[in-house]
Amino acid sequence: MKNKNMSLINKVKNRYIGALLAMAILLSMAMGIMQYLLYQQSQDAHVINIAGMQRMLSQRIALFSAQEDKRDSENLRQAIDKFESNHEFLTKTERREAIYLNEALAALYYQEPVQLDLQSNTFVTLSRSQFQQPTPQLEEQIFTASQHILPNLNEAVSLFEQHARSKTEMVRKIELLIWLLGLLLLFIEAKFIFRPMAREIAEALDKLEAARKLADDALHSKSRFLARVSHELRTPLQAIQGYLDEYLSNKDTQQLQHVKSAANQLDVLLYSVQDFNNLSEQEVVIERHQVALREVIKSACIAFQLTAHKKSLAFNLALSNELDVTCYCDGKRVGWLISELVNNAIKFTERGSIQVFADLVVDEDTPYLEFVVEDTGPGFDYQQLREAVHSEHFQGTQLGLKRCRLLISALGGRLDFIAREPTGTRATLRVPIEIDNQQTLARTMEQVSARILLVEDNLLNARVIEKMLQPIAKQVTHVEHGEGALEVYEVGKFDIVLMDLNMPVMDGFEATERLRVLDPTVPILVVTANTNAEDLDKVYALGATAHLYKPLQPDVLHSKVVLLLNECGDLVSS
């Protein structure tokens, strides 16, 4: 959205600047043309003034030629000089072309019958002769010549004025053209620049308003979601507190097993929250771990026993002996599906009982986990429930049935609801699993004695992980940051590296990259609470081999380490 807004802003800015530049160019051209034409008009006025002066000078020369006073003789000389210089100015040429004479003036000055240029030069010659040796005959000739040249000088002035008026008319037409061009430019800018720009801005504002409403809705949904998550997390927390209180009262170690199951259920709920973004984008990546199937089901159900007891509901859990197997599946997501069904059954049941059955069935040579929850609640309209599965969220954290549908589809299973008589609902979950011999992992673990480098900045987490690794570790070397890992690795030999990501001094990203340069083959298992997909993609690109999310389960950690060592051929016989 930010990039789109910046693109729109740049587009609007460029169009606005383009429109202003076009108008500025037109105005500049108009100003330049007008300045040139005004200069030409001032020149024309000057030429007309000089042409008019010639008429006056011709009469002054005739008058001063008839005077005998020496002062008049000096005035005569000045008048003759001025008349001659004015004539030279008016007939001035450049590259053999007259500068100030148009075609009609050129005919007047150089063609018969007038030949004003010849008349003017003859008049100047007579006047200078009279100035040098005045005689009555020259005086008479000058007077006659002045009277003869005067109408022609008047004609020249008229022609100069007419030429100037034609230029003035041209200036007026150019001004009109510039005005029309300005109007046309404004119309073009309004139609093709400002109108589309206004439409795009309006559309962008509509999108921003829609985005604002969506953000407000998302914020409101987030608040509701966090409130629901907080409520749902209280169920396993309540179980943990309740079973711990019972353990402190009677020291029954069985209660600690219930605490562990409730803690596992809490982990599953936290995982579902972390998983929410990927699921909302329809991106479901199923993980396969080696797990004990019975423990997955018990951990998912045991936390709800106290909740059912507080509502005075009978809670019966019946697990088939066939479930005592080790299998490969996405244990956390299967556990979440089970807990969601049990949780909803308890929520909708005010009196009576909750019956939970689980068995391992084989259908067409494919083993399935069959999990059944029956309640004595008010029941559901099956059609409405089916519509809810395909559209709306449902109860609990309201990741609910929509998430169930996505997960069950990804797992290759199915979920069915049947109304019971007289009331209640029966929910049946079937998920395909891959059974493994329970002893395979144990035998494999007995064969493993790995030298492990643990890179973890939290000392408490490091001690817990070290304890988990004892069954498969010959030696666990712990360092608190990536720089320490590189120093230790350069002097030691390790079969596998467990790498945290967020650490001081040097984080797991840089450490993974530099460690991969030192050893291209050693397995690097990222162990992190960071579930950001971009960060995981980045660390894989830098050389990580696999990853596990915290909190770790011992069996999951063991199977992952053994699997990586097997794949790399680095199993070390004890």
Dihedrals phi, psi of 63, to nearest 5 degrees:
-70, -50
Query: What pLDDT does residue 279 have?
Result: 55
Separation between Cα atoms, residue 406 and residue 337, nearest integer Å: 11
Query: What pLDDT does residue 287 have?
Result: 76
> Using CB atoms within 10 A of its CB, is residue 82 exposed (0-12), middle (13-18) or buried (19+)?
middle
Number of Cβ within a 10 Å radius of residue 213: 10
Query: What pLDDT does residue 42 have?
Result: 82
Q: Return all residues near 528 (Cβ < 8 A) that are at least 6 apart.
A: 500, 501, 502, 508, 547, 548, 549, 550
Residue ranges of the chain whose pLDDT lies below 70: 1-6, 8, 68-72, 218-219, 221-232, 235, 265, 268-284, 379-403, 437-447, 568-574
Dihedrals phi, psi of 90, to nearest 5 degrees:
-70, -30
Separation between Cα atoms, residue 568 and residue 348, nearest integer Å: 51
Dihedrals phi, psi of 533, to nearest 5 degrees:
-65, -35
Element (H, E) at 355: strand 353-363
End-to-end CA distance of the chain: 58
Element (H, E) at 152: helix 136-189
Q: Give the 3-state secondary structure of residue 325.
A: coil
Query: What pLDDT does residue 236 have?
Result: 72
DSSP string, 535-549: HHHHHHHTT--EEEE
Tell me whether strands 425-432 and 414-419 are parallel, antiparallel or unpaired.
antiparallel
Query: What pLDDT does residue 523 have?
Result: 92
Query: What pLDDT does residue 498 have?
Result: 95
Instruction: Look up the pTM and report it.
Output: 0.45
Query: What pLDDT does residue 310 have?
Result: 83
